[in-house]
Amino acid sequence: MTIATEKIPSNIVTQNFDVLLGNIENRHITITKNNEDLAMLISVRELKEIARNILDGYFLEQVESGSMNIIEAIKAQSLIREGSKKADEQIRAGKYKEASHDFFLTVRKKALL
């Protein structure tokens, strides 16, 4: 199914908001102000479908349980992925060592002595 994408000035959106919401299932609407993109309207159904495709299990569960909204979950997952990427880069550069299971066993043994 092809979804129509259109740009509509904010003053037109304000005047026709009920009509635009009435058929949002079949279109993406980018709201503009002074010819610059300001916001986007898409259906919640489509946003949930996007979330199911991009969110990992934990964050998807948080959204489905109502603990997080979709935007919060996407932002949190992105922050974790970025942090993980930076950590991997630092390990490869030799700045840090990756902690393995054996490392933790050794630390535990030393702590219990």
Annotated domain spans of the chain: 1-42, 55-113
Residue 65 corresponds to which tokens in the numbers above? Answer: 């349980």
Q: Which residue has the tokens 């942090």?
A: 83
**CATH 3.10.450 at 1-42, yes or no:** no
What is the model's pTM? 0.66
Q: Which residue has the tokens 């979709």?
A: 70
Residue 55 corresponds to which tokens in the numbers above? Answer: 């969110």
* Mean pLDDT of all residues in 21-50: 89
* Mean pLDDT of all residues in 27-53: 90
The Cα 71–Cα 78 span in angstroms is 11
* Mean pLDDT of all residues in 16-22: 88
Q: Each residue of 71-94: pLDDT tens digit?
A: 999 999 999 999 999 989 998 998
